[in-house]
Structure 1
Amino acid sequence: MKVLAIEDDAAQADLIRTALAHTQHQVEIVESGSLAIRRLRQATPDLLILERNLPDISGDDMLTWIRMRLGADIPVLVLVGRSSEDDVPKILDAGADDYVVTPVRCAELAARVAVLLRRAYSRVRWEAHRIELGDYVIDIRDRTVVLRGKQQILSPREFDLASHLFRHPGRVFARGELYRAVWGKALEPDSRTLDTHIYRLRQKLELSARHGIQLRCVYQHGYCLERVPVPADAFRGSFHESSHRSTIGPF
């Protein structure tokens, strides 16, 4: 997992590195809100650690930007000074998922990061080569996508794109980041290749609320595959059909 920490205090940054040193996470630390925004426009991490008192942008404003641009699914852990603990309800209401009081205690930080990542990403059922999400089953080994028992026909590149998105539900990918992950090279400024493949995936896989998954375009950023509640009337047709069948016949 990729963790981005926004922390301007060198001592706290060292504690964050120490706390996550023995995990398998890739940890990057930036020193200001402006640097964080620049980094987030290029790529989206799996979890954010946010210092509330930044030198250029307040942590509260940074949190608002994150939720507006990246959505509600990315976990955000806020670092709060002991003198600011009374503000915790406000921070959580603003969109933070959890908080840690500074100075950071390494064991506590590592544990809270693990809990947030598990809570955010363990809802995907998958084995070594199989992902189940919504009405979809993706088999990485056989390179197949099955929707409600019916295999969907995708080109090799479409499958690579679909499997990458399904591995990271709720994560917002910048266009260049997603293109590099699937095509293995930088995205040309005027290229529409990615957008064309996204359009085809939406059509071929019927990515919509009726199947519990949608592929969302994030304005001026990129794309996000996310879970959505299945509408109650999605099953209304089959229910009425079965009810109708049960009321006719020799009985």
Structure 2
Amino acid sequence: MFFVGLITADAPLSHAISEQLKPGGMDIHHAIFGALDDALGAWGERLPPILFWDSKTAPATDEMADFLVSRLSTMRPEPLLLALGDMPAVVEKWGVTEHFVRPLRLGYFLGRVQFYQRQLQQSPDVAMRVGDWIFAPRLRQVAHFENGEIVKLTDKETALLDYLWQARAPISRDELLAALWGYEANLDTHTLETHIYRLRRKLMPPAFEGEDIFQTQQGGYQIHPSWRGDGGAA
């Protein structure tokens, strides 16, 4: 069972998130509290692996923020903190995994939660074969299978490669832009194409003569079967 804790007093937002996370939707259990002290009191010594805090509707005193950071710092692995709004200084200093802005784009938020869920459920040594590379999502890197060369990936490059790896069918441009960047459909942007280009540059040498890692089919992208270490089997 994977658990997400949400702290927000925004009733419409709470309802919308609950509708998406309830059984039959995403395979994620959750609890929502309207105040930080209520949440920490209920969770006791064990915080959820992903904690979403809406500080505007559920503000906290400096003392309570200090208490949260002390609790976060003692847990291994440390929980991921997703923030909506400005965080208290002590929380910012400790480190926020990702900031979201209002209005919260629900589809994008849920996509990011699923991405972090996959990251947390993988041990650091879990890796996937992508052509001549070993892709380690949690380490945000690929390592060459033969010479051991390590190439670092950005957060978005990691998320894009992971998203396409998990898929077994072409993923549309609109779906990728919504899930990874929170963009609306039919938006005129080259963001996705830029990241595809950068991944090609990192994974395909200049004189590469094999199949392109990213196959465009049915109006979407997918990793070419020849690049999949599992042979592309479903």
Higher-helix-fraction structure: 1
**Is the TM-score greater than 0.5?**
no
- TM-score, normalised to structure 2, is 0.43
